[in-house]
Every structure is written in C-alpha cells, then in structure tokens.
C-alpha cells in the first residue's frame, strides 16, 4: 500500500512539473520564485471554494510564473484578457502552450474556470 501511495505521489508531482514546462517569458526571468510566491500568497481568493481550487490547480504555475504562466494579479494578464473570455476559456479547457487541458482542475466547469481567470487577472 505504501509503495502504491509513493508511486501515485511521484506520478502526480511529475505531472505538475510537466504542466509547468516551457520557457519563462522575459518579464518573469528576473523575478525570484520567493518574491513571486510571496506576492501571490498575499492575493488569495476570499471565497474558500475558489481559494481551494486556485491553490490545488493554479498556484503552482500562476503563483510563480513557472513555464511562462502569467502570474496572478499582474499586468501579464492584460493582453490575455484583451482576447476575451471565450478565448481564455477555450485555452483553459483545451490546453495552451505549457498549460494542460483543464489546467489541472479536472472537475472544474466553465463557471469555475471563469472565476479563476478573473481572480488571476485581478478582477476579483
């Protein structure tokens, strides 16, 4: 049982790392992971359900900028939001660049994804 649990945990961690793969954009290369994480921790969703989904599915990449993911609460979201929510939902559901389909939230629906996107873009 312990061996199975270890295998599942290692596999899950590997999938998380793979989801954040890719090259970081220039604007995030100078940021240290610690500074990005502390800034993101200060801006967690107030809604407990949204916070749980964000921490479980989004924070590992969007809280740090890993793999070029736009960091939560930064202007990195401006150009993305300009594309419109339909495009962002499509990218989230189908995957885009280093982000896997469903963005690591296998049980999220469009409402949850939209709320997460709006939070990360600083609209909540």
Task: Give, for all 124 residues of the chain, the pLDDT tens digit.
Answer: 544 434 433 444 444 444 554 443 334 444 444 444 444 445 788 889 999 999 999 999 999 999 999 999 999 999 999 999 999 999 999 999 999 999 999 999 999 999 999 999 998 7
Would you state the pLDDT for residue 20?
Answer: 52
Question: Coil, strand, or helix at residue 19?
Answer: helix
Nearest to 99 by CA among 60, 69, 72, 56: 69
Q: Domain segments of the chain: what residues?
A: 2-120
Whole-structure pTM value: 0.68
Would you state the pLDDT for residue 117?
Answer: 97
Measure the CA–CA gap between 114 and 89, rounded to whole angstroms.
Answer: 7
Measure the CA–CA gap between 88 and 78, rounded to whole angstroms.
Answer: 12
CATH number of 2-120: 1.10.760.10
């Amino acid at each position: 049982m312990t061996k199975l649990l270890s295998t599942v945990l290692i596999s899950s961690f590997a999938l998380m790392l793979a989801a954040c793969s890719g090259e970081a954009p220039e604007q995030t290369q100078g940021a240290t992971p610690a500074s990005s994480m502390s800034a993101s921790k200060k801006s967690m969703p107030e809604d407990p359900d949204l916070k749980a989904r964000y921490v479980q599915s989004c924070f590992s990449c969007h809280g740090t900028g890993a793999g070029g993911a736009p960091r939560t609460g930064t202007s990195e979201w401006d150009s993305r939001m300009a594309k419109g929510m339909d495009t962002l939902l499509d990218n989230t559901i189908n995957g885009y660049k280093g982000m896997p389909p469903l963005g690591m939230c296998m049980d999220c629906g469009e409402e949850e994804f939209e709320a997460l996107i709006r939070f990360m873009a600083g609209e909540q």
